[in-house]
Amino acid sequence: MEKRHIDRRLAQMSAEGTTFRTGVNVGVDVTADQLRADHDAVVLTGGATQWRDLPATGRELDGIHQAMEYLPLANRVQEGDLDRAPIHAEGKHVVVIGGGDTGADCVGTAHRQGAASVTQLEIMPKPPTTRPDHQPWPTMPMLYKVTSAHEEGGRRIYSVNTLEFVGDADGRVRALKLVEVKRGPDGFAPVEGTEREIPADLVTLAMGFVGPEKEGLLDQLGVELDGRGNVVRDADYRTTVDGVFCAGDMGRGQSLIVWAIAEGRSAAAGVDRHLTQDTVLPVAIPPTERPLV
């Protein structure tokens, strides 16, 4: 999403009376007890930011970063907060592990920083270019797509798994050892004789997220979590702790911004009902609503 849209929304919310406090680590700088003591209702909208890691041999080498360690620095350069990102792809062979939207963002950013090469790896097979029979309309099909980032160059390799990060004498990553895989009933199995190395001076991990971060605020609040580690909500988006509500990825899991917007508006109705015993606010979706897949 272009930043101008976010800036416009922030300006509107400020004009409506919303107070923004930035630079606050909730759960550290402000505890859960303080939040509940100072407010009649608290809405958790912290997202699903607990990233999935890759515990392969050599993971500790310098030059291997999570996508969300890499991408925000590039944004800060664009905003004028930094002259140059501390993690930079200029002149490097970049490998992006993960084939989703976050991985595509890493691909585009690496190109614009002047990477020597960019390779994106995905453990899943290459998707089809047309709707498969088992994903009929109106479900959203899993199709091969070329984003604007991919149009800038690089290559994508499907059906591969990372075996090892190979380092140099100074403890920096210099290559990545991978193997082709085939999906079966018991998961992904390596294909014999397909092991190989590709150069890698900078590796970004973009393999998705596994729910909200528990340490800090959620642990302090003691809210109940479901089997996937997300915050449990009732029909009013209320958690198992009185006066505490939850909307967006923190309760739904990693998803798209349109779901977060709809949930935020719906949770507002639940909070209004909690505070006034009634509400005229519309409910866009229940928390159990899911996309057609």
pLDDT of residue 95: 98
Q: Are strands 173-184 and 187-190 parallel, antiparallel or unpaired?
A: antiparallel
**pLDDT per 10-residue tile (average), the chain, 293 residues:** 88 96 94 96 95 96 97 92 96 96 95 97 95 90 91 96 97 98 92 97 95 95 96 97 97 92 97 96 94 72
The CA distance from 184 to 4, in Å, is: 45
pTM of the model: 0.86
pLDDT of residue 138: 87
The CA distance from 193 to 46, in Å, is: 44
DSSP for 56-90, please give it: -BTTTSBTEEEHHHHHHHHHHHHTTS-SS-SS--T
List of domains in the chain: 3-49+211-276 (3.50.50.60), 64-205 (3.50.50.60)
> Hey, which residues does 120 pair with through a beta bridge?
96, 156
The CA distance from 182 to 191, in Å, is: 7
**Selection from 64, 88, 63 nearest residue 74 by Cα:** 88
pLDDT of residue 293: 63
pLDDT of residue 3: 82
Task: Specify burial of residue 164 (Cβ count, 10 A radius: 0-12, 13-18, 19+).
Answer: middle
- Count Cα atoms within 13 angstroms, Cβ side, for 32: 16
pLDDT of residue 291: 82
Angle of CA points 53, 54, 56, to nearest 5°: 150
